[in-house]
Structure 1
Amino acid sequence: MLSVALLLLCSASFTGYAGQCRNAGPVNTANAALARTVEPVRWSRALLKRDKKWYSSSEAVRIADNLLLYQRDNGGWNKNTDMAKPLSREEEKALQAPAEKGGVATIDNGATFTQMEYLARVYEATGQQKYKEGFLRGLDYLLEAQYDNGGWPQFYPIRKGYYEHITFNDGAMMGVMQLLRNVALNKAPYAFVDAPRKELSANAVEKGLDVILKSQVKVNGKLTAWCAQHNHITLAPANARAYELVSLSGGESLGIIKYLMALEKPSPEVIRAVDAAVSWTNQVKITGIRLKWIKDATTHTERDRIVVTDPTAPPLLARFYEIGTNKPMFVGRDGIVHEKLAEIEQERRSGYSWYIAFSQELVEQDYPAWKRKWAVTE
C-alpha cells in the first residue's frame, strides 16, 4: 500500500517536461523508471484536441506564453519549431530580439492558424487578455496577407519564388479559411472577436471561396480537381519545389471538397465543383497496393519505403496526378517525372508523402448525404 501511495503522490506532481517527484519521500527505482517514461508535450495540432479544462492548466498556459514569445511583430508565426518546449531565460531573451521578432511568418505546415486557435482556447479558459490580443494580432495578419483575388500566399510578407503562389499544399489555405469561417460564424472559441473583425473575416471567406471555384482545373472543358499551388495572378496550376510539379493533387483536393461540403446552402457553383471533384477522386483512386517500410538495401540502417501488392488494402490516392492522363507522378530532386515510387531516390521515397488514404466514407456516405440534404439532383 505504501508503494502505491508513493506512486500516486509522485504521479500527481508531474509538471510538463520536468516530470519530477516533489515532497514524496523515498521513491523506489520502479517508480523512478515510470517517471522517466512520461512523454514531453510537443507542439502539434493534437494540442487542439485536449479536454476543455486542460486549457486553464499551468502547462497549457506555459505553452500559450511560449506562443506569444514566438509570435512575429506582424502577427504571424514561423513553422517547424517545437513551440511547446520549455524555454530557458536565454532562449526567451533571444526570441524577443528585433531580428527574431521581425522574422518571416507563414501559413505552411499549419503555422499561424494553429497557434491562433490554441491561444483562443486558452483565452476562453483563462480570460487573460494577452492571449486574446495575441489571437487578434494573428487575425489581422491573416486578413492583411490575403490577395485581392481571395488567395493566400505561403509566406507573408511575400517571399519571391513559389512561396508567393496561392498555396493549398499541406492544407495551408484551407486551414486559414476554416478558422476565418468559424470566426465569422461566431463559433467557439471565437465569440470574443469584435464585430468589425468578424465582418472582415466573412468577406475574406467569400473571396477565398471565389478563388477556389475559379482555380479548379478544367480538362477538355470538364472540371476536375486542384493543384497544390496556383499562380497568384493567372490562377493556373504552378510548380513549387523541384519534386512538386504542376499536377492535380489528391490530398489537397480532398481537403477542399470537405470544406465546400461543410458550407450551408451551397450555391450552384459550389455544387458543381463538389460533384466534379468527388467524381474525379473516385475515378483516380488506387486499389490493390499498400506502402511498406523496410531497411534501405544499400545502407541497411536508413528506412526505405516500397509499394507491395495487397488486394485487401484500402484504396489510396497519389499525391500528384498528371493533368490530362491522371497518371500518378513521382518526382525526385532532379525534377524528372517517374511513374513508379521505386524509380526515384531513396531520400525522396522515404522523406515525402507520395500516397494518402482515399476517403471511402466521404464518397460512399458523406457525399450522398450531402446531396440529399441539399436536394441535389443528377
Structure 2
Amino acid sequence: MMKIKILLTLVCSVLLASCYAQLPTDSTADKMLVYQLGNGGWPKQLEDKSVVDYALPLTPELLGKIKSTRDLHATFDNKATSREVVYLIKAFKKTQNQAYLKAAQKGLDYILMAQYANGGWPQYYPDKALYRSEITYNDDAMINVLNILQDIATKKNDFEVVDPAYIKKAEKAIARGIDCILKTQVKQNGNLTIWAAQYDKDLMLPAKARNFEPTSLSTSESVGIVRFLMRISNPSPQIKTAISAAVKWFDANKIVGYRFDRATDPQTKVKTAALVADNTSTVWARFYDLDKNTPIFGDRDNSIKLRMEDLAPERRNGYAWYGNWAQKLIEKEYPKWLTANGSK
C-alpha cells in the first residue's frame, strides 16, 4: 500500500512539473521578475549605475549586479515600476502565467505604499536623498502611476485581471492624487495656469530638481496631467476648471511658426539645437517663469538663462528645450472632451 502511495505521489509530481514546464512564458517578463526589488518596485539603474536593459542576457555577472542592488533604487523615474507593472499584466493576460500577475500585484502594493498622505508620489521610494522625495510630475512619474490606478478602477487596458480588492484601493489613491493635482496647480494673481515638474513634499510648493531643471512651470508634464484629468468620468467642477485653465494657458503661451530642431553646421558637422522657422509648427518651451510666463533655460552651473542660445553647448544640445507637447491636446483632445462633458 505504501509503495502505491509513493508511486502515485511521484506520478502526480511529474504531471504537475510537466504542466508548469508547458506554461507559456515571456522572456522579457521573466527578466522583470529577476529585476524586481524586495519592496516590489523596480530600479532604473543598478547599484553600479548601469541602466536596466531587458534586452541584455542575464549573465552571471549581470545577475550579481542585480542581486546587489538595494531597495533604495526603487523608483518611478524614466517609467520604472510603471513600465514593468503594465508589461507584466499584459504578459499574464497573454500567457496566464501566475508568476507575472503576482509580481505585478506586488508592484501595485509598492505603488500604493509609496503615496504620500497628501496624494502625491515621490520620484523614488524610500530613498529621500536630494530631490528624490519631492512630489514628482517630472517625466510623468506620478501620472504614469495614476494612469495604472485608473485602469484598475475602470478595468481597462487588461487590468481587469488583477485581484478585485485593488479596485477600492485604487479609487482611494486616485481621489488623493487628484486632490494633490488640484492643490498644486500654479496660480498667478489668482488665475490657474499649469503645473511645475516637482513640488516640496510638505509645503506642496514648486521646487527645483537638477541644476538645469529650475523651479518653473513645466509644459510637457502639464500636458500629461491634463490628459489624466480628462480620463475622469463625471468630473467635478474643480477638475473641469483645472483642465480649462491649463488649456487656456497653453493657448496663450504657444510659439507659432517654429519647430525645435538640431541643425548641422556645414563646416564642423556639429549639430546645434535651435528654433527653426516653420509655419506649419507650434511649440512650447519646456520651462516657463512661474510669474512672467517667459521661457527659461537651466544650465549645469545652476544658472538660469533667458535664451537657449546662451546655454553651455552640452546643455543646449542635451535637452528637449522645446516641443509640440500641447498641440494635439488643445486642437483635438480638449474639444472632444468638452463635447463629451456637455460643455459644448
What band does the TM-score fall into relative to the shorter chain?
Answer: 0.7 to 0.9
Distance in 2 separating the partners of 1:241 and 1:281: 25
Distance in 2 separating the partners of 1:270 and 1:109: 27
Q: Determine which of 144, 154, 161 is the counterpart of 2:130.
A: 161
Q: CA deviation at 1:296?
A: 6.7
Q: Tell me: CA distance 1:206–1:360, structure 2 relative to 1, closer, same or farther (3 Å).
A: same
Q: Determine which of 71, 74, 77 is the counterpart of 1:105.
A: 74
Q: Determine which of 279, 293, 312 is the counterpart of 1:326.
A: 293
Q: CA deviation at 1:256?
A: 0.8
Q: Tell me: CA distance 1:284–1:57, structure 2 relative to 1, closer, same or farther (3 Å).
A: farther
Q: Tell me: CA distance 1:296–1:111, structure 2 relative to 1, closer, same or farther (3 Å).
A: farther
Q: CA deviation at 1:295?
A: 4.4
Distance in 1 separating the partners of 2:276 and 2:294: 18
Q: CA deviation at 1:340?
A: 1.4
Q: Tell me: CA distance 1:134–1:301, structure 2 relative to 1, closer, same or farther (3 Å).
A: farther
After superposing on structure 2, the runs of 4+ consecutive aligned residues of structure 1 that deviate more than 4 Å are 295-298
Q: Tell me: CA distance 1:225–1:115, structure 2 relative to 1, closer, same or farther (3 Å).
A: same
Residue matched to 2:38: 73
Q: CA deviation at 1:365?
A: 2.8
- 1:132 corresponds to 2:101: yes
AA aligned opposite 2:116: Y
AA aligned opposite 1:81: V
AA aligned opposite 1:340: R
Distance in 1 separating the partners of 2:299 and 2:280: 26
Q: Tell me: CA distance 1:359–1:148, structure 2 relative to 1, closer, same or farther (3 Å).
A: same
Q: CA deviation at 1:288?
A: 2.1
Distance in 2 separating the partners of 1:102 and 1:288: 47
Q: CA deviation at 1:175?
A: 0.3
**TM-score, normalised by the number of residues in structure 1:** 0.79
Distance in 2 separating the partners of 1:296 and 1:162: 37
- 1:254 corresponds to 2:223: yes
Q: Tell me: CA distance 1:358–1:102, structure 2 relative to 1, closer, same or farther (3 Å).
A: closer
Distance in 1 separating the partners of 2:266 and 2:131: 34
Distance in 1 separating the partners of 2:266 and 2:130: 36
What are the residue-to-residue correspondences of 1:279-290 with 2, within 5 Å?
Answer: 279-290=248-259
* Aligned residue pairs, count: 316
- Are the equivalent residues in 1 in contact too, given 2:72–2:126 (CA < 8 A)? no
Q: Tell me: CA distance 1:265–1:331, structure 2 relative to 1, closer, same or farther (3 Å).
A: same
Unaligned runs of 5+ in 2: 1-22, 45-50
Q: Which has the higher contact order (CA 8 A, sep 6+)?
A: 2
How far does the alpha carbon of each residue in 1:187-243 deviate from its partner, in whole angstroms, 9 at most, with x for none? 242222222222111111110010000100110011111000011111111111111
Q: Determine which of 270, 273, 292 is the counterpart of 2:239.
A: 270
How far does the alpha carbon of each residue in 1:308-352 deviate from its partner, in whole angstroms, 9 at most, with x for none? 333x14100110000121100112111222121111011111111
Q: CA deviation at 1:93?
A: 4.5
- 1:303 corresponds to 2:268: no
AA aligned opposite 2:240: I
- 1:91 corresponds to 2:91: no
Unaligned runs of 5+ in 1: 1-55
AA aligned opposite 2:275: V
Q: CA deviation at 1:302?
A: 5.1
Q: CA deviation at 1:84?
A: 2.7
Q: Secondary structure at the match of 1:314?
A: strand
- 1:62 corresponds to 2:54: no
Bigger mean CA deviation after superposition, 281-290 or 266-275: 281-290
Distance in 1 separating the partners of 2:89 and 2:54: 16
- 1:372 corresponds to 2:339: yes
Distance in 2 separating the partners of 1:213 and 1:338: 30
AA aligned opposite 1:236: L
Distance in 2 separating the partners of 1:166 and 1:104: 17
Distance in 2 separating the partners of 1:232 and 1:347: 31
Distance in 2 separating the partners of 1:341 and 1:88: 43
Distance in 2 separating the partners of 1:245 and 1:150: 23
- Are the equivalent residues in 2 in contact too, given 1:285–1:316 (CA < 8 A)? yes
AA aligned opposite 1:241: R
- Are the equivalent residues in 2 in contact too, given 1:315–1:358 (CA < 8 A)? no
Cα RMSD (Å): 1.9
What percentage of aligned pairs have identical amino acids? 39
Residue matched to 1:184: 153
Residue matched to 2:110: 141
Residue matched to 1:220: 189
AA aligned opposite 1:147: Y
Bigger mean CA deviation after superposition, 143-152 or 85-94: 85-94
Q: Tell me: CA distance 1:62–1:358, structure 2 relative to 1, closer, same or farther (3 Å).
A: closer
- Are the equivalent residues in 1 in contact too, given 2:194–2:246 (CA < 8 A)? yes
Q: CA deviation at 1:141?
A: 0.4
Q: CA deviation at 1:367?
A: 1.6
Q: Determine which of 323, 328, 343 is the counterpart of 1:356.
A: 323
Distance in 2 separating the partners of 1:110 and 1:102: 17
